Amino acid sequence: MAKLTKKQKSLDGKVQADKLYGVDEALGLVKSLATSKFDESVEVAINLGVDPRHADQMVRGVVNLPKGTGKTVKVAVFAKGAKADEATAAGADRVGAEDLMEAMQNGETNYDRVIATPDMMGVVGRLGKVLGPKGLMPNPKLGTVTMDVTKAVTDAKAGQIEFRVEKAGIIHAGIGKASFPEADLKANFDAFVDAIVKAKPTGAKGKYVRKIALSSTMGPGVKIDIAEVAGA
């Protein structure tokens, strides 16, 4: 059995493994256990009753976190002419066309969101093997293929996050930083869970939201009492 680190020993016993916590209590506990020298992220993991290998059980979408993520989001936009000017004015970190495609082919992919106008998808399509594995491929369903580049860039910068269920039926997301007030984390948590509930696919069988846990980057998981979560 692996030895516990000094930090793990100090946290041991502060979270009861078999206890289900109310959201407010859990958030307070997660904040108190985030004792690293950096501002830890607060993360939520939701186990869903879906098998994403079936198309009618895929859960994917975007949600605007009302209190933001606390992270600086780097945005690249594929656009030309007036739309390129619009993207720059909205605060995009990089705007381009074929030149941006070539830069990405050469390894410049350190972006959190990639947006494109519909007319640029012929160019962007050549980046499938580059952007696809990173989950950065622009997608009309996620609002990242759009003529309204101002809104897309603004939403990304303001705290819009994408979510996608993993093979085991789990969705992970960061909902803020440990330095956030509890009320802000609760607002983001509620918005995220609400978005997941609304994204319930037609093929989901039985109970949809099965487990929810909160943790900080370095802290232990705290299980949530689903009965207390609105909509779940």
pTM score of the predicted model: 0.82
- Nearest of 44, 13, 104, 34 to residue 232 by alpha carbon: 44
- Secondary structure letter of residue 87 according to DSSP: H
- Secondary structure letter of residue 182 according to DSSP: H
**Percent of the chain, pLDDT > 90?**
84
Q: How many whole angstroms separate alpha carbon 61 and alpha carbon 142? A: 6
Contact status, residue 112 vs residue 73, Cβ threshold 8 Å: yes
pLDDT tens-place string over residues 151-191? 999 999 998 998 999 989 999 999 999 999 999 999 999 99
> Which two tokens mark 137?
């491929």
Q: How many whole angstroms separate alpha carbon 108 and alpha carbon 93? A: 12
> Which two tokens mark 179?
């330095």
177 φ, ψ to 5°?
-115, 155
Q: How many whole angstroms separate alpha carbon 173 and alpha carbon 164? A: 9
Q: How many whole angstroms separate alpha carbon 7 and alpha carbon 20? A: 23
Grade residue 205 by pLDDT with cuts at 50, 70 and 90.
Answer: confident
pLDDT tens-place string over residues 40-90? 999 999 999 999 999 999 999 999 999 999 989 999 999 999 999 999 999
Q: How many whole angstroms separate alpha carbon 36 and alpha carbon 14? A: 16
pLDDT at 230: 66
Averaged pLDDT for residues 19-23? 93
Contact status, residue 91 vs residue 53, Cβ threshold 8 Å: no
